[in-house]
Amino acid sequence: MDANDQTAEPLDSFDMDPQTFRRLGYQVIDLMADAVTQESSDPVMPQVSGQQMRAIFDDPVPEQGVVPEKLIRACRETLLQYDRKNGHPRFFGYVCASADPLGALADALASVLNQNVTAWRSAPAATEMERLVVRWLDEMVAFRSGGQGLLVGGGSAANTTAIACALATVKSNNEKAPPRDRLSVYRSTQGHLSIEKAARLFGVPQENVRAIDVDAHYRMIPEALDRKLSNDLRDGLIPACVCASAGTANTGAIDPLLEIAEVCRRHRVWFHIDGAYGAPAAMTSDYHWMQDGFAQADSMSLDPHKWLFAPLDVGCVLFRDETAAAQAFSLQSEYTAVSEEDGIEHYAFFNYGLELSRRFRALKVWMILKGRGVRRITRMIEQNISLRRYLDARIAADPRLEALGSDLSISCFRYHPAGPHTGGAGACEPAAPAEQVRLNALNRKILETLVAEGRVYMSPTTLGGRYALRVCIVNFRTMQGDINLLVDEVLRIGAELCS
Ligand SMILES: *Cc1c(COP(=O)(O)O)cnc(C)c1O
């Protein structure tokens, strides 16, 4: 078309006048307020089939626009109707927190502001806010790096970033790049899947991703790690990273961090702590001791979207020395040349992580930490932990229930009528194979029934071949009555299935 052709009508801009924005905004806020209220209403998990869902979401590509009111209504009729309520007081699945509504409002604001938090120059205020939030997180759990690190999409991204740093360090410590098939990475048998995923992604052979044995409480055995490292070094492998857990997703187990730090130091291996779930518990007096281990690590993962109650998604990776991150991610050779005085304005997140365009994730964390205060957040974490202890006490007091492992705010157990009741986590007698199969099937059926009835949601796990009912409490709405209801329902359904 001729540039001077004036016959085509200019298109209306997508801009909204303030009145329209306010009118629609209030409708969205009404929907959001209803969603927050409905978090507590049953069912936790609506029953809906794949066919039903596909039939609802089967529109052709929309050629023509429709009025926004229609879309807001469609969200109400689908998303509020059919999705799981992750903030429900009896949602105990996975490690999935209830989201602070204050953080949700902050997240909506972040979308409107649409800051691209790549570097100080692109977003001076948003960048400084993120750097402040990272310093706060560092200080809150006493990692003590002075706040070197960045926000990422979650624990998987944080673990992946840390492993990239560890591998880059190995590379820089060697004359020439070590062959990938000689590299090895270590975590316990209970370590998170994201570690193995990251290692494989970076070319570490799957068989070199070592799973170290755990004790009766599912904690990595430092001596076993030491032996494995010694053997691997003797065989010419190049150990790149040890990933310890500060709270496994299965049972909340915390690996012996100080002992592992010592082993890592001796063998000169990068020490990473996966605290995606458990790290914030180090703020409580009962788990304060974890801080000594944190101070020894080279890197750590911590998910504000888990036990700091931020809405999805926001994870954080902390580095002892961000030079390693620059070695892994910066393409500039002079990154070390940035002088102290212009350091602030030269700071670029893209030199320390994978992402270039980055969402303004810090805003919701800033708003939650500042709005709620860390003391109150810590008390909420303590409340979750004491509810787990209350659940453990109910399990211990009932001969039909068998404890299978618990720590932090996770407890695993199973219905075991007429079983040898030993009480101690992980200390139960091994059942005969046929009995094990029967118990596994029974508990699977209990869980399925429970979830289908819609008053409680749990996800299962397997511990030493035993199918376990797993309860994870990272929720500011959960109260003692919810724990009682859960236990009573398991006992009722178990009895019904056995009669
Ligand atoms: C949840 C979790 C992860 C993964 O974090 P995402 O945010 O889901 O990616 C890693 N490690 C542990 C221990 C976790 O609980």
- Domain locations along the chain: 20-88, 108-331+342-372, 378-498
CA angle 214, 253, 97 (to 5 degrees): 145
Give the confidence band of 8 by pLDDT, cuts at 50, 70, 90: confident
Rounded (10°) angle between helices 155-173 and 193-201: 40
Place of tokens 């409580």: 284
Ligand 1 site, residue 147, Cβ cutoff 6 A:
no
Per-residue pLDDT tens for 249-278?
A: 999 999 999 999 999 999 999 999 999 999
Q: Does domain 378-498 have CATH number 3.90.1150.170?
A: yes
For the chain, give the number of residues.
499
CA of 280 to the centre of ligand 1 (A): 13
Mean pLDDT of the chain: 94
Ligand 1 pocket, mutate which of 188, 274, 300, 461 (most atoms under 8 A from CB): 274
CA of 193 to the centre of ligand 1 (A): 9
Q: Whose CA is nearest to atom 10 of ligand 1?
A: 155
Is the pLDDT at 211 greater than 90, yes or no?
A: yes
Per-residue pLDDT tens for 461-474?
A: 999 999 999 999 99
Ligand 1 site, residue 246, Cβ cutoff 6 A:
no
Ligand 1 site, residue 156, Cβ cutoff 6 A:
yes
Per-residue pLDDT tens for 432-486?
A: 889 999 999 999 999 999 999 999 999 999 999 999 999 999 999 999 999 999 9
What is the topology classification, in CATH, of domain 108-331+342-372?
Aspartate Aminotransferase; domain 2 (3.40.640)
Strand pairing category for 466-472 and 459-463: antiparallel
How far is residue 449 from each of residues 272, 452, 456, 468, 497, measured CA to CA in Å? 39, 5, 10, 15, 10
CA of 301 to the centre of ligand 1 (A): 9
Count the helix, strand and coil residues of the chain and give each as a percent rounded to the nearest 5.
50, 15, 40
pLDDT the model gives residue 337: 47
Ligand 1 pocket, mutate which of 151, 156, 409 (most atoms under 8 A from CB): 156
Percent of the chain residues topping a pLDDT of 90 = 90
Mean per-residue pLDDT for 106-132?
Answer: 97
CA end-to-end distance (rounded Å), the chain = 80
Ligand 1 site, residue 107, Cβ cutoff 6 A:
no
Q: Whose CA is nearest to atom 6 of ligand 1?
A: 155
Ligand 1 site, residue 194, Cβ cutoff 6 A:
yes
| Residue 35 · residue 80 · CB < 8 Å | yes
CA of 154 to the centre of ligand 1 (A): 7
Is the pLDDT at 421 greater than 90, yes or no?
A: no
**What region does 264 belong to: left with phi over 0, alpha with psi -120 to 50, or beta?**
alpha
